[in-house]
């Protein structure tokens, strides 16, 4: 085993709050962004890309607040190669103890055509904007967007310009997930060899997963000399997503024998933040996802189970505890007290105040009365059930559904809307459709249901169902989640959660609200 004291450090640059949030429907509230940033800071992420400050007033406020609250992480904001963008970015990140400005421009032929710049005109803009950023901040990152499809000679030229203008980190993005590991490594090695001053700065790699090679491409770049990996929790991101933080970190840890590099990540915090990001983004983790998927440490094959009983290393290359999974699962029941619940939730990464615990304990007891055995996943689902302040406008008071082989199915519903009780009876093609029709009759809206997903939290006919919905209205996308042993109730609560969020978004973008709330989309 290589002496870890002599190993190179690989910086982990997390862009869950910027590139990850650009996944359609993955928008997070201000409070959720602050929470995720705090968890990233605690787990040892070196650089947090907190957002794109010029995009909206909401983004600016979130980046500013994250910068103020950061403890150890560098806080970075994104800016296009325009002086107003860079100034706005600096205004947001300057409150951090360790701020960074990240500015970029598309350098491939396809991207140069968008602003209609010649090679020389783009080179001048890169010099001017990087110089401007460096005059504001001594930590500047520059990215040639779509670098992997940029002409090699021109890429070398603009990287050299950015370094001379003061960039301290050069990020090489594979913006459309086009490259392969051998190419990824060769590109970094070529830049280190050909570009003057390349050995004095940090090279970063930013890979997308369109061909399923983001993790492999990032690790190949590190082996060639890159010392910063840009990634997201759960691989969240546009299209097929970004490099997954948990994958590269655990790959470097498990295969340290052939990839002798260190990170500062506390891997025992991976599962907690993975679950939280899945909850606030509305993007469930696929069951067979590497490291954090529900089946990542599950063994059903008889041969595998027999081997695991004799020696866990037979079929496991890492321990569940390494990523924050407890060794045991079944722990709670209806006789469990408040102190036991608090202790177990703390094990799972949830720190609750007394008032929060009181509310959760009531819901826990209610669940325990309906469900014989409470598993860790049940508790996590319980915590996912929103207590968001945005949820007060519309509340479910009662629901009764009639279903069966003879239709139509019927839903009798009573809602409280802004303190006023409303009731209706509606029919539909199934109980969920009837219940959703009832909600729409009581709270008229034109939002389109983009996504409806149901997942069983645990096994058994009494398992809780976790429901996620995504809705869109006039460009506003909102998500809602809830869990209940009754799938129809969970569905209605998730739908109402999304509607409550939609009402808040309407108010923020109503006439007179800040027009910058309409976000720009950026791919890097």
Q: Which residues are annotated as a binding site for Mn(2+)?
A: 19, 206, 208, 242
DSSP 239-288: TT-B-BHHHHHHHHHHTTTTS-EE----GGGHHHHHHHHHHHHT-PPPTT
DSSP annotation of 57: H
Question: What DSSP assignment string belongs to 377-388?
Answer: HHHHHHHHS---
* 521 contacts: CB under 8 Å, gap ≥ 6: 22
Helical axes 57-69 vs 30-43, angle rounded to 10°: 30
CB 251 within 8 A of CB 259: yes
CB-side neighbour CA atoms (13 Å) of 241: 18
- Closest by CA position to 154, among listed 102, 111, 183: 111
Say how far apart CA 201 and CA 477 lie, in whole Å. 39
Sequence-ordered alpha helix ranges (H) in 44-203: 57-69, 83-93, 109-112, 119-136, 152-165, 181-194
Helices first, then strands: H and E counts in the chain: 16, 16
Q: Where are the alpha helices (DSSP H) in 137-255?
A: 152-165, 181-194, 214-224, 245-254
Residues with Cβ < 8 Å from 59, sequence gap 6 or more?
51, 52, 53, 519
Write out the binding residues: 19, 206, 208, 242
């Amino acid at each position: 085993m290589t002496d870890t004291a002599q190993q190179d450090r690989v910086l982990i640059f997390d862009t869950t709050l910027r590139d990850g949030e650009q996944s359609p429907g993955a928008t997070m509230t201000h409070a959720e962004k602050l929470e995720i940033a705090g968890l990233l800071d605690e787990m040892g992420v070196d650089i947090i890309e907190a957002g794109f400050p010029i995009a909206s007033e909401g983004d600016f406020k979130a980046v500013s607040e994250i910068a103020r609250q950061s403890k150890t992480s560098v806080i970075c904001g994104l800016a296009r190669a325009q002086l107003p963008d860079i100034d706005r970015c600096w205004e947001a990140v300057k409150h951090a103890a360790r701020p960074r400005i990240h500015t970029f421009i598309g350098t491939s032929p396809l991207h140069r055509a968008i602003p209609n710049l010649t090679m020389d005109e783009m080179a001048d803009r890169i010099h001017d904007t990087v110089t401007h950023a460096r005059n504001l901040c001594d930590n500047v990152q520059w990215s040639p967007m779509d670098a992997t499809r940029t002409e090699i000679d021109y890429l070398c030229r603009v990287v050299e310009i950015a370094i001379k203008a003061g960039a301290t980190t050069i990020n090489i993005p594979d913006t459309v997930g086009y490259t392969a590991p051998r190419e990824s490594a060769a590109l970094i090695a070529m830049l280190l060899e050909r570009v003057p001053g390349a050995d004095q700065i940090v090279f970063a790699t930013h890979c997308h997963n369109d061909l399923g090679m983001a993790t492999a491409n990032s690790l190949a770049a590190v082996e060639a000399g890159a010392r910063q990996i840009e990634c997201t929790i759960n691989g969240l991101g546009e299209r097929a997503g970004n490099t997954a933080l948990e994958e590269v970190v655990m790959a470097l840890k498990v295969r340290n024998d052939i990839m002798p590099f260190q990170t500062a990540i506390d891997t025992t915090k991976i599962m907690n933040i993975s679950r939280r990001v899945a909850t606030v983004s509305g993007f469930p983790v696929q069951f067979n996802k590497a490291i954090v998927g529900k089946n990542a440490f599950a063994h059903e094959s008889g041969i595998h189970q027999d081997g695991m009983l004799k020696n866990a290393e037979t079929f496991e290359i890492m321990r569940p505890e390494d990523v924050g999974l407890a060794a045991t699962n079944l722990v709670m029941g209806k006789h469990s007290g408040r102190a036991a619940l608090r202790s177990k939730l703390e094990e799972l990464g949830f720190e609750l105040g007394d008032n929060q615990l009181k509310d959760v304990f009531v819901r826990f007891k209610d669940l325990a009365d309906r469900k014989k055995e409470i598993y860790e996943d049940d508790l996590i689902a319980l915590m996912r059930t929103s207590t968001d302040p945005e949820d007060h406008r519309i509340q479910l008071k009662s629901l009764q559904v009639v279903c069966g082989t003879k239709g139509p199915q019927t839903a009798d519903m009573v809602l409280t809307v802004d303190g006023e009780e409303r009731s209706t009876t509606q029919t539909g093609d199934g109980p969920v459709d009837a219940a959703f029709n009832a909600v729409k009759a009581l709270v008229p809206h034109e939002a389109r249901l983009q996504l409806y997903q149901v997942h069983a939290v645990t096994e058994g006919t009494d398992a809780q169902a976790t429901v996620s919905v995504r809705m869109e209205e006039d460009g506003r996308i909102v998500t809602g989640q809830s869990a209940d042993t009754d799938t129809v109730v969970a569905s209605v609560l998730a739908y109402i959660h999304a509607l409550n969020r939609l009402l808040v978004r309407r108010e923020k973008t109503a006439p007179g609200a800040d027009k910058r709330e309409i976000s720009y989309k950026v791919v890097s």
